[in-house]
Amino acid sequence: MANTVSENIRKLRQKKGISQDRLSKEADIALNTVVKIETGESPNPTVDTLKKIAKALGVSTADLFKEK
């Protein structure tokens, strides 16, 4: 499931046309955190982190978990 979340975050970010740096700023989380989540180095991000990322991407938290 972590792989799905990582891929969805990356795809949604790219679809929105923003960089990892901009996403980190909009979500108010460290750039390193975004990079680690997208690459799968951080397979268990906190619910709070996922909520911030979802809000910055303009999607629901549930959207991050959907199989595409």
Instruction: Give the chain's residues under pLDDT 70.
Output: 1-2, 68
What is the CATH code of the structural domain delimited by 2-65?
1.10.260.40
Give the chain's radius of gyration (CA, Å): 10
User: Domain boundaries in the chain?
Assistant: 2-65
| DSSP-H helix ranges across 1-68 | 2-16, 20-27, 31-39, 47-57
From 40, 11, 9, select the one nearest 24 (Cα to Cα).
9
Residue 28 in tokens: 């108010």
- Give the per-residue pLDDT at 67: 83
pTM of the model: 0.93
- Give the per-residue pLDDT at 43: 80
- Give the per-residue pLDDT at 44: 87
